[in-house]
Every structure is written in structure tokens, then in C-alpha cells.
Amino acid sequence: MPQVERFPMSIPFGWFGVGYSNELAVGAVRPVHYFGRELVLFRNENGEAGLLDAYCPHLGAHLGHGGKVEGDSIRCPFHAWAYRPDGFCSAIPYAKAFPPRAKREPLTHAYPVEEKSGVIWAWYHPENVAPLFDVIDYPEFTDPEWAEPTKREWRFASNPQEIAENGVDVAHFAYVHMMDAVPEGETSYDGVQRHSAARGHRTIKLPSGEEKQFPYSVQTVQNGAGQKFTRLKGVVELSLLVIATPVEADDVELRFCFTHPKVDPGSPQEHAIQEAIANTCGQKGVEGDIPIWENKIHLARPYLCDGDGPILRFRKYFEQFYADGPDGTRLVEAAE
């Protein structure tokens, strides 16, 4: 039997989370692997975060293993060549004259970095094209009037498109997440952004045993392949950043980052918030999806029916984030 190719698409381009701002201190140096590449993440003494290709262009040492921050740069552990976050070489301690190329252009590839919503976002494009759109900032994640973010993280064999497509696959909610109904919503596409809004009522069983209906709403913004924001309002109010970052074409790191308006510790509101987060992350949420994501394949021409949701429209939207299209083809048609 021929080997089945799981994913016919490559790594998409866009802004991807590579860490949290408050977890990268001044002077920190961290070897990381994303986008199928060895990288080094650091924060210089000016407070600026940098993400560079890991291997020193001088003689190939890995800057993330033994490299040290000094001033505005990271120094190579091998010969102490220094590089700023923009990729320019700032010092060669033993050289009498700077190489001409080092004066006119970066010697190593620097990934554009933005720090917004408490996240370090790095721009990736397979051809190293400059950013084509902006990161959206959601200030509540750093607002002192909002709660300290609650963070969860998983890594598994999948990719950003498969994860994002889950949101429009309305039929699976009943069978994977045991949800009685999926609310009707409105969706619009605007360039690299996808907006959706849904409203409805949810029946909640109170501690007294009484059942009560509560209105709720869910608003979502997908901004490129790696940044998704959801605001939930109902029994509780929650803001959620969904950060899907490709490690390889078939290996992804998924982060959920929650925040909410501050509530009294130990209050019923805090208990309800913790329960909502647990449901979103647990078996009724993402951890119910992960075993399926890890073992499924992407069918370019799926058999679909009228209850499946706008999967093909979503694929057409997502296809724009592949530099060559998914392997040079359009994966937005259904089997007949």
C-alpha cells in the first residue's frame, strides 16, 4: 500500500508567537526551533527582543548554545562576533578591518519581531519577504485591570491550517465536544482577516439544581495563519489568544492564553472562570481534538454534506498564506 502523505501544504507565512514577553528577561539567550529552522531568541540590554538564524555566518557556531548578550547584541561563543537584532554584525573583537559586506548589509537573517498582547510575535516567510500585514494588539492581556494571563501549551503532529479549520467544522462539536448545538453566526472575510460572531443562549445548571438560560456571545478574529483572538461573554467574560506556531510542516506548538476582568479571589465568578478555562482546554475542548489532529490526514478533495459548515470557503481564505499555494495547487474543491 503506498505511503499516504498527511499534509500536502508547506509551512504558511505570517506572524507567529515564539514566546511570551515576560518570560524573556534582559540578557536571556534561548535556542529555539520553528519554521523548520534552528533559531536563537534573545533580549539585548536595551530591552529589544531579537530572533536570528542560529548559526554564526563566520564559522557556523550555534549562537543559542553559549552565546551571550552584550550591549545591544548577542556574541558568538566561538570567536565573539556580535550581532544586533537586525542581523548586522556590530563587533569583531580581533579584526583590524570590518569585512566590506558586514558594513553594508546584515550577515545573518533577522526575523521581524513585534511584542504585542504580551507575546513575542515573529514574522516568517519562506523567501524572507518583509511583513505583508500587521500584528493586532489586544491590550487587555497586559492591562493591570485585567487578570494575569492563564497559559496552556501543547505540541503535536499537525499544522496551523488544520487547527484553524476546526472552528468552521461545525458538525464535529456534537461528536467530539458533546455540545448540544452550534450557534448560528455571521462570518466575513477581509484580506488576511476572518471575523465571526455568534450569539445564543446556554442552559446552565446552578448549584441549587435549578437550570437557567444565559445569553452569550462569541467573537473571533483570525489574523493570518498564526494569530487568532476570541472574546466570550456570558456567564463569564474571557479573552483568549490562540497561538499556533509551526515547528516543522507537520509539527506544531499550540498556546492558549486567557485573561478576564479581575474578580474577587474565591468568588463564584472566579470558580466559573476556572471551569470555563478547564472546559476550553480539556476533553470537551482542545484536548478532545488533539488525538484526531495527530492522526488524521488532510484530504484535498473531501466528501462534504450540507451540515459540515463553510470548510471550503475557509480553505480558500487560508490558502493565501502559502508562498506557492499549497504545493502549487488549490486545495479548495470538494469530491463529487
Q: Return the CA Rg of the chain.
A: 22
DSSP E strand stretches across the chain:
14-20, 29-34, 37-43, 49-53, 68-70, 73-75, 82-83, 89-91, 113-116, 119-124, 150-156, 185-190, 193-205, 211-223, 227-233, 237-248, 251-259
The tens digit of pLDDT for each residue in 78-106 reads 999 999 999 999 999 999 999 899 999 99
Report the distance separating Cα 261 and Cα 146, nearest Å: 4
Q: How far apart are CA 115 and CA 104, in angstroms?
A: 27
- Residue whose C-alpha is closest to residue 235's, from 183, 275, 180: 275
Determine how many CB atoms are found less than 10 A away from the CB of residue 291.
11
Looking at the chain, how many residues does it have? 336
Given a contact cutoff of 8 angstroms between Cβ atoms, the answer to whether 224 and 114 are in contact is no
Q: Which of 103, 128, 123 is nearest to 112 (CA)?
A: 123
Q: How far apart are CA 123 and CA 110, in angstroms?
A: 10
Q: Tell me what pLDDT residue 104 has.
A: 93
pLDDT the model gives residue 1: 42
* Whole-Å CA distances, 26 to 83, 219, 255, 296: 16, 36, 23, 41
> What integer pLDDT is reported at residue 185 of this predicted model?
73
| Cα distances (angstroms) measured from residue 82 to each of 52, 71, 93, 115, 250 | 12, 10, 9, 23, 34
- DSSP secondary structure code for residue 87 in this structure: S
Q: Compute CA distances 266 → 274, 275, 282, 289, whole Å.
A: 11, 13, 22, 31
Grid cell locating 179: 455540545
Cell readout for 145 is 485591570
Residues of the chain with pLDDT under 70: 1-4, 169-184, 201-207, 325-336
Cell 463564584 belongs to which residue? 268
Cell of 180: 448540544
User: Long-range contacts made by residues 54-58, C-beta under 8 angstroms, separation at least 24?
Assistant: 55/108, 56/81, 56/83, 56/108, 57/107, 57/108
Global confidence as pTM: 0.92
Q: How far apart are CA 160 and CA 204, in angstroms?
A: 33
The pLDDT value recorded for residue 206 is 65
Tens digits of residue pLDDT in 19-45: 999 999 999 999 999 999 999 999 999
CB 318 within 8 A of CB 12: yes
